[in-house]
Amino acid sequence: MRHVQRSPGRVTVQEAAGHTGHSTADENGTPSRAADGTVLLDVREPFEWQAGHAPGAVHVPLSALAAGAPLPPEALGRPLVVICRSGNRSRQAAELLTARGAEAVDVIGGMRDWAEVGLPVVDPQGGDGTVA
């Protein structure tokens, strides 16, 4: 019997925010803990992460994942919502992670759409970030 690989799902930024607790963030933009333990995994490059990212997101660049890097401990065995700048790299990362056995979906429109709908973007110090 042939194993059929399923493609990862895709979610909107609003759905991603709901899954990761960002739709119920506190006044500082810190997400509440998602009930199902879903992790927002940002796969952009370090300079993009430094410019701005979603509060509470976990960072592993797609280039590192493609080279075989493991997920960080806080993302192991948990559902993943994968985000990048526009949705291209996150789709590739979600496919890679699904092939490794992870439960992963990617975010349509990425951090550009995330910021556009008014979801929080912070820099490493917790100040206002930008999407690079």
- Asked whether the beta carbons of 108 and 13 are under 8 A apart, the reply is yes
CA distance 96 to 90: 10
Residue 84 falls in the annotated catalytic set:
yes
Active-site choice (25, 82, 84, 122) = 84
Residues identified as active-site: 84
